[in-house]
Chains A and B, each alone.
Chain A
């Protein structure tokens, strides 16, 4: 696993913090690693912090979506946090569709959604 992603466990959540631009391979490795750790730690949710990503192109977007779908099959929900304003603008202009990915402003907000939010907030 790359050292450009730190994965912490807090209660039954996994928090994966991306710390710099990742290659395609590293993103796919992150997906695999999280799918495995969901089982190992019996995690109910994954929070992926992408604050450090200054480009989210179609591959990265698709990979984040795949990560969330994979985790869902393993019984965990995923929230992506920290999409930068200019990255959000680029994604919209690109017309990247992340459905059914859930995103939140930051870690606090993600924890709030996961702690108290009704399931429908995540399942849309």
Chain B
């Protein structure tokens, strides 16, 4: 699978598109409706972070696949001012601009993996992934495909 989706984030209308794309890809990858909702919510949150704090950036979503599981990776990048103190930004209740400080810690709780790379005055990249175990049938099908 080589699905990759780019969504340019520049205004709050783009969040609607980002949420929809995240859900579509999650569903295509066989994630449950609940997991698709968790992913779409996390994407919405980091996309809003870009709009509110930086103004513009990009979200890339891609499918991952290995022997035992499928994954959906979301990478959000911007060229903004960066986050001065990431550990504070990930604390509940921290808000640099009038929010309730729920965005990043909330998104982290919705995904399986979450990391932030940031450089002051250069920009920020948030990488987060949600995994889904492949079931037996999917593994067998895959094996058959490779054998034939």
B-binding residues in A (CB < 8 A): 21-25, 54-59, 62, 84-87, 89-90, 93-96
Given the interface contacts A55-B19, A57-B45, does A95 sit within 8 Å of B109 by beta carbon? yes
Give the CA-CA distance A86 to B23 in the complex, in Å.
13
Nearest Cβ in chain B — how far from A112, in angstroms? 28
Measured between beta carbons, the chain A residues less than 8 angstroms from B106 are 57-58, 94-96
Nearest Cβ in chain B — how far from A95, in angstroms? 7
Return the CB mask of B28-70 against A: 1 if under 8 Å, else 0. 0000011011101100110010000000000000000000000
Given the interface contacts A57-B48, A90-B34, does A95 sit within 8 Å of B102 by beta carbon? yes
B102 close to A94 (CB less than 8 A): yes
A90 close to B16 (CB less than 8 A): no
> Nearest residue in A to B17 (C-beta to C-beta)?
A21
Measured between beta carbons, the chain B residues less than 8 angstroms from A54 are 19, 23, 37, 40
A-binding residues in B (CB < 8 A): 12-13, 15-16, 19-20, 23, 33-34, 36-38, 40-41, 44-45, 48, 92, 99-100, 102-103, 106-107, 109-110
Main SS of the interface on chain B?
helix
Nearest Cβ in chain B — how far from A69, in angstroms? 14
B40 close to A55 (CB less than 8 A): yes
Given the interface contacts A23-B12, A24-B15, A96-B106, does A86 sit within 8 Å of B99 by beta carbon? no
Given the interface contacts A58-B102, A59-B48, does A25 sit within 8 Å of B40 by beta carbon? no
A96 close to B102 (CB less than 8 A): yes
| Those 6 A-B pairs whose CB atoms lie nearest each other, nearest first | A24-B12, A86-B37, A86-B34, A94-B106, A58-B102, A57-B44
Which of B12, B20, B92, B103 is within 8 Å of A25, CB to CB? B12
